[in-house]
Amino acid sequence: MEKKVRVRFAPSPTGGLHLGGVRTALFNYLFAKKHNGTFILRIEDTDQTRFVEGAEEYIVSCLKWCGMVPDESPEQEGNFGPYRQSERKATYKQYADQLIADGYAYYAFDTPEELDVKRKQIPNFTYGLATRGAMRNSLTLTEAEVEALLASNTPYVVRIKIPENEVVSFTDLIRGHVSFETNLVDDKVLLKADGMPTYHLAVVADDKAMEISHVFRGEEWLPSAPIHILLWRYLGWDNEMPQWVHLPLILKPDGNGKLSKRDGDRLGFPVYAQNWTDPKTGDLTKGFKELGFMPEAFVNLLAMLGWNDGTDQEIFTLNELIEKFSIERISKAGAKFDFEKAKWYNQEWIKHTSSKALLPFVKEAFNAQAIVLNDETYLEKVIDLIKDRCTLLTDFVAQSIYFFTAPAGYDLDAVKPKWTPEKAAFFESYALELKEGLTGIELEEKFKSLATAHNFKPGELMLPFRIMLVGGKFGPGVFDIAVALGAEETIKRIHKAIAAFN
């Protein structure tokens, strides 16, 4: 019988959520939904020294924003909880004890100071095959000495005993056959002095307990794979081991190395899903959400970093991604992050989203500037007029503010050199022609016939008219703006601008 698809996204609550982490969550989510499986959020908080207040809530918020709500999580318990590793602490020691009893792990009593001395003596020191015989552990001490140290509560860690001269092989669903020589792998710590497991022991125990079928994780975890495979074997769980999927890295824009938060700071774009404020330092790291990205566009661009469906299609809804997703189409090579392309996705999503659906996003952008808009029908009309001009949701404020408040100033340099009393007279006359209910076409016809009557080419008058209404050389069709503003407001703005131009 085929194993039911159960996948997990297992972040550590240590700070903001990097877009590489969100993409890992996304590929887990798409695979689960495609196969009617279960998408699990498990919080890997065994390293209490790195735990950051608020980070778990932040992770949950990011997933929610992206539309990837877990089927099981600390908030939504299933039958495989608890979903925080720190709450499973009692279960890990039994596995460490079992590994020691079976000869696959050992106690190491070396103090941090003793390890520091070794690091100074031996360049690139690692604790393993070549060095374990010279250290203070249950492989070099007598049974009586070990018993005495344990009885006196001497601090210790438990390390895996990596075998000599073996090759650990497995099949990765992206990379195919992968092999590691055990002589190049060190004896990783499995249980720390505080009784907490390290990632290596916890991840294997939890994946077994939660019946995980496929492990999707970044390729930076590949070097840890032999340790995890040995643990599955040593604990007698070979037949229940999940299938491995090591995802390609998201690279810097130049392709040289993994994209980091520092790169984003240096190049002026976010690498976190949402704004993250470090509770210790108060430092704010900007996120895609607050910059003005639609969640649909963010998810879309992440999916295309290292995956495609084999066609030229680039714009996908979440449901289309679920339908088309397959591991076979994930690339082995790293994917360069291109912020210009990311903005293109967002622009396309804004263009193709109805004004009604954009309404809450745009209201939020205005609220962030302390501008409260209550007339939603009017706002929808405005969104319709300007959405093709916006790349980010935050652009809506600058691109449409003149629909809600008259310009505070004008681009006089664009008008003054060619401004004449005759032009002022034309606009005085045009203001008299305006009344409520005229369409854009009617306004334009009146404008052109009146221009001819005043011996002007309509083109000479269009720019001054635009600047009267919006303050500068931007915005959609000027007659569409006038219709949206209404006759009364348009007349008011014409008179105010004539005074400023004169």
Show which residues are catalytic.
261
Contact indicator for 263, 271 with CB cutoff of 8 Å = yes
Name beta bridge partners: 39: 7
Q: How far apart are the first and last CA of the chain?
A: 85
Helix, strand or coil, per DSSP, at residue 137: strand
- What Rg, from alpha-carbon coordinates, does the chain have? 32
What does the block give as tokens for 431? 């203001």
Contact indicator for 296, 303 with CB cutoff of 8 Å = no
The runs of H, that is alpha helices, within 268-411 are: 288-291, 295-303, 318-324, 339-352, 355-368, 376-386, 395-400
Contact indicator for 392, 291 with CB cutoff of 8 Å = yes
CA distance 175 to 203: 21
Torsion of CA 124, 126, 128, 134, to 10 degrees: 80
What does the block give as tokens for 405? 């408040």
CA distance 6 to 498: 69
Amino acid present at 33: K
Q: How many CB atoms lie within 10 A of CB 196?
A: 19
Helix, strand or coil, per DSSP, at residue 218: strand
DSSP letter at 215? E
Name every residue whose Cβ is closer than 8 Å to that of residue 148 and which is 6 or more positions away in sequence.
none
Helix, strand or coil, per DSSP, at residue 123: coil
CA distance 329 to 320: 15
DSSP letter at 307? B
Helix, strand or coil, per DSSP, at residue 39: strand
